[in-house]
Structures are given as C-alpha cells and as structure tokens.
Amino acid sequence: MKKVNYFSLLFGFLFLFSCGEKIQEKSIEKTLNSNDIEALKELKADLSNKQHELTDQLDKISKKIESLDTNQNRPLVSVYELKPTDFKHYIEVQASFDTEKNVLLFAEYSGMITAVLVKEGQEVSQGQLLAKIDDGGLAQQLTQAEVQAELSKTTYQKQKRLWEQKIGSEMDYLRSKADYEAKEKMVEQTKKQIDKTQIRAPFSGVVDEILIEKGNMVSPGMSAVARLLNLSEMYAEASIPEVYIQTVNQGKKIEVFVPVLTDTIQAEVSQVNNFINPENRTFKIEARVANKDWSIKPNMNAKLRIADYVADSTLVIPKNIISEDAEGRKYLFVAENKEANVAQAKKTFIELGRSEGDHYEVLDGLTAGMTVIEEGARTVLDGQKVEILKQ
C-alpha cells in the first residue's frame, strides 16, 4: 500500500492560504482607507472567525498527522504538579536614609571661642565638653554670688532659730529668708549662664565637622560650632501613594534594599504620617533600621518593598507558560491521560490575579494536583501527544 504523504496536505493548505492572503490584503487596505467604523468592525469580526477556523483546521491536520505517523517525534515538555503556596504582591517606593542624631551645635552665648577641645572624627560621649566661649567675667560673678549667698544663708539660719524661740520680729525673719532665696537664685542663674559658655555633646557620637576655630566670635543661634553624628540607628523615609493608606500601617513588615551596599534589611514601619501631600497625593512613612557598622549614611538612597496583598495557600504559575488568544483570553496547557512518559496536552483557560516578579496568582481555571506543562508550553497544540522529560 502506498504510504499517505500527509505533509503535502499541510503544505497545500498553507499555499492556498498564502494566495488568499495576498488578495485579502488589498481588501483590508481598502477598508482601512475608507475610515468606515462599521466596516472595520465587520472586518475585525470576519478575521477573528477566520483565525478560529484556521486554528481548528491546523489542529485537525496535526491530529491527522499524529494518527498516521507511527514514528513521529512528540514534543518534549517538562511538567510540574500544582500545589497551593503563599503569594505576596509588593509595592516598591524610593526612600532615603536619615537619623535624628545628626545635629549642628550652635553657640548659646556671645563671645570669643577660647578653646576647641575635640577634633573631626573624634568619638565623644554624652555631656563631654567640646568647646569653650569666653564668659566675660561670669566666673568671678559666680564666686561673689556664692559668697553673698553663703552669708545670707547664715543670717537666715540665725533669724530662723530666733524666730522659733519667739525672739525677734517676724519681719526680720522673713527679710532674711527672702534675701537668702534671692541670693541662691542669683547663683543658679549665673551657673546657667556659665553653662552656655561651654558647648557639650547632647548625645554620644562622632564629631563630623568642626565649623569654627579658636579666637572667632560667636553669637547665640547664629554661629554653628560643630556637627555631631550618631548613625547607630537610622530610619528610611518614603512617600507612599494615598491609595495604599489602608494597607501600609505602623508595624507592617517591609524590606529595605540599599543599592550601594547591595544589601536587603528586614524592618517594619515605625511611623505613618497622617498628612496627605496635596501636590502629589502621598503620605510619608518611616522605617527604623539598625546600623551598627555605620555603613548607612544620611541621605543614602534606598528602595522599600512593602507587601500590600497576601494570599495564603493559593495557586501560582510562572508568566512564561501563559498564552493569549485573539479575544484576549489567557490559557495554558495541562498534561492529561498520562501513560508512562506520554500525555495529552489540553488547552485550559484561566483567570489571573495579581503578578509579582515572574509569577501570577491564579483565581480560576486550575485546581491543586493538576499537571501543568512548563518548558515547551508554547510549542504544543490542544490535544497533541507530548513526551514528558524525566525529572
């Protein structure tokens, strides 16, 4: 018996299709130039129907070839079994680092800098003296005030004892008491004034910059003396679109990626501002991060990844196995009727949810336990026999 040349059937079909396509191109061009929307809609529907017809005919030809060719090479595919897994969708926003312990130290007293006691890069402890300002004779005033306070104290104590013994007048006692309290306040005020001539570290850290030299004049609130930093604890600040106001809240776990360091830090949202910026419709958040080695610097850029959607025990598939038909419907192929390492590919339409990275969440069309064709998914046809690669 003469063997059927089934390849000629396919080539003949394609040749006829090619000839018809050239004639159809002229008709399509004419319709496009007409700008007739109804005609264009009709043409689109006609071409869509023909596409379905061609797809059906190709499927029939493929199946016929498969039935006639006993020595055919089936497409090699890889498969995997669908299992429920957790799925997270993230939003990513730009952020920058800062610290609350990054301050400029200003003079609180007018005068000349008489001493700078630290160097740039030096570690200092809280309360350590960094610089001195000429006190303009305050130290002498303090000595005099302390002597006067001590004398008034002695007078007050004497008048108090007399008054307790019912000796002397009440007015003498009250005057001595008022004089003593006034002298004590004078001492306290002078000490406070002297304290302002001494610039001390408000917290432990590193002197990042010395901004003035010995001999220069300074004024309260006008003259910066030094910059003090402590980078042990930083925070990343970012602006979040207001549509995420319900999903981004205090305590939420986030990932902080630092591009310069190629490092990802696990953190959580430490603060959520209530103010919505009317210009860009965003609100600010902060996430505190530990920075023991001081590798993160103020104003360094970062990227925050925040999970705004979480689904437990759902089905997830890779993007590269998903196809789309002329009507925009998404589908993939599952392997059915498996015998040994041979199975039948079945086109299965699916409904997709959110995507994250290279994967989609599947909302409908698949169930756990199905065998999905992965590698080779775009080369198989509906109903075609496929050979499964050994895992």
- pLDDT score at 32: 73
Q: Residue type for 84, please? A: P
What pLDDT tens digit does each residue of the chain (391 aa) get? 334 444 454 444 444 445 455 556 657 777 777 777 887 788 788 877 877 788 777 777 766 766 665 556 788 999 999 999 999 999 999 999 999 999 999 999 999 999 999 999 999 999 999 999 998 888 888 888 889 888 989 988 888 888 888 887 888 888 888 988 998 999 998 888 888 989 999 999 999 999 999 999 999 988 899 999 999 999 999 999 999 999 899 999 999 999 999 999 999 999 999 999 999 999 999 999 999 899 999 999 999 999 988 999 999 999 999 999 988 999 999 999 988 889 999 999 999 999 998 999 999 999 999 999 999 988 899 999 999 987 6
Concatenated DSSP letters for 185-213? Answer: HHHHHHHHHHHHTEEE-SSSEEEEEE---
Give the pLDDT score at 7: 44
Residue 186 in contact with residue 145, Cβ under 8 Å? yes
Q: What are phi and psi of 250, to 5 degrees?
A: -60, 135
Cα 268 to Cα 129: distance, rounded to the nearest angstrom? 37
Query: Which of 271, 232, 229 has the alpha carbon at shortest distance from 250?
Result: 271
The vertex-241 CA angle with 233 and 94, nearest 5°, equals: 45
The secondary element (H helix, E strand) that includes residue 316 is strand 301-318
Strands 385-388 and 76-77: parallel
Tracing tokens 């756990």 back to the chain, one arrives at: 368
Rounded to two decimals, what is the model's pTM? Answer: 0.59
